[in-house]
Amino acid sequence: MARTTIRRVSRKKPTKKAVFFQKLKPVVAVVVVLLVVFAVGFHYRNGLAYYLGFKSKFSNQSASEQKRISDVRNYTLLSKYESNPAGIDVSEYQGTILWDSVHLVENEFPIQFVFVRATAGVDYVDKKFAENWVATKKMGLIRGAYHYYRPDENSKLQADLFIKNVALRKGDFPPVLDIEQMPKRQSMAELKKGIRNWLERVEQHYGVQPILYSGERFYTDFLKEDFSEYTCWIANYNFFVENLKPHWQFWQFTEKGSVYGISGFVDVNIFNGTEDELVQLTLGN
């Protein structure tokens, strides 16, 4: 049997320069992370100052309430659009609201309008709608009512349910259709036909074109092309989105707002216009 010779492979010793850069990599990574943290902190410096300034004031509140106060993005955006009217939207999920205390978002920014859920599907009336609807009027807030659309249910019956339960008055917003679910038992074409049926039936009854609410992605992918003539109210909670888009008449930018008089989280919205333009959008103007 032939004898096998094992050759030793000589490994080149790394140079001092290579060793230096190898040791430098973790340092560079740490510096990059610190720069990112600093940049984010500087960008949201007003919100952080707000949080730190009020932290002790709210120290006796629950952890969830303190978390709301610490949402610096809310404060940053509300500060940026301080000249734009701000508002909230509510439903039975907020429980019993102490409306006499509902004045400010994040303890600083005036609430000028409220959207109230009225109905859902073909048979559901929000348990707090009647109470919230009357209270918002007494508070002198511009109010609006919305219907949560269920894709696989009859559009005519859904429109009739809303009409039966919502009496709009001068100074109220046009009716709102909330559509954000994909259909399970029908095609997108059928869904769009149902949405059109609801919008047209409701417009015929109230004499005003409804507002269309949806998430930005859903609106862009499925609704914008066919319903671009409708005033849109867009939900986008993306942490890095900080600018109103021209076609967003209303922007729901968070579902974790803090408002005295409301237990738990509440959605917060910014109107894309002035106070006068907000009033012009209401019935009778």
Q: CA 245 → CA 214, 216, 249, 275, distances in Å?
A: 14, 11, 8, 18
Report yes or no: 235 and 224 within 8 Å, Cβ to Cβ.
Answer: no
Predicted confidence (pLDDT) per residue in 268-285, tens digit: 999 999 999 999 999 998
Look up residue 252 and give its two tokens: 């729901």
Strand boundaries in 25-175, DSSP class E:
86-90, 104-105, 109-120, 124-125, 142-148
- The CA-based dihedral angle spanning residues 43, 47, 53, 57, taken in that order and rounded to the nearest 10 degrees: -160
Higher local confidence (pLDDT), 100 or 55: 100
Asked if pLDDT for residue 133 goes beyond 70, the answer is: yes
Query: According to the model, what pLDDT value does residue 94 have?
Result: 97
Rounded distance between C-alpha atoms, residue 241 and residue 171, angstroms: 31
**Which structural domains are found in the chain, ordered by start?**
61-280 (3.20.20.80)
Q: How confident is the model at residue 240 (pLDDT cuts 50, 70, 90)?
A: confident
Query: According to the model, what pLDDT value does residue 10 have?
Result: 52
Token pair 């939900």 in the structure block, residue: 235
Instruction: Determine the average pLDDT of the residues in 110-122.
Output: 98
Q: What does residue 33 show for φ and ψ, rounded to 5 degrees?
A: -60, -45
Strand boundaries in the chain, DSSP class E:
86-90, 104-105, 109-120, 124-125, 142-148, 176-178, 211-215, 231-235, 250-257, 266-271
Mean pLDDT lowest among 56-60, 91-95, 130-134: 56-60
Higher local confidence (pLDDT), 141 or 23: 141
Instruction: Determine the average pLDDT of the residues in 231-237.
Output: 96
Rounded distance between C-alpha atoms, residue 192 and residue 200, angstroms: 12
- Per-position DSSP letters for 219-247, written without gaps between them: IIIIIHHHHTTSEEEEE---TT--S--TT
Residue 120 DSSP SS3 = strand
Closest CA to 121 of 94, 91, 157: 157
Query: According to the model, what pLDDT value does residue 239 have?
Result: 83
Rounded distance between C-alpha atoms, residue 209 and residue 266, angstroms: 27
Catalytic site residues?
180
Asked if pLDDT for residue 49 goes beyond 50, the answer is: no
Asked if pLDDT for residue 113 goes beyond 90, the answer is: yes
> CA geometry: angle at 258 spanning 41 and 107, to 5°?
80
Query: According to the model, what pLDDT value does residue 1 have?
Result: 47
Asked if pLDDT for residue 249 goes beyond 50, the answer is: yes
Which distant-in-sequence residues (6+ apart) come within 8 Å of 269 by Cβ? 86, 87, 88, 89, 113, 115, 233, 250, 251, 252, 253
Token pair 């039975």 in the structure block, residue: 92
CB atoms within 10 A of CB 246: 7
Asked if pLDDT for residue 45 goes beyond 60, the answer is: no
Q: What does residue 66 show for φ and ψ, rounded to 5 degrees?
A: -65, -35
Asked if pLDDT for residue 7 goes beyond 70, the answer is: no
Q: How confident is the model at residue 72 (pLDDT cuts 50, 70, 90)?
A: confident
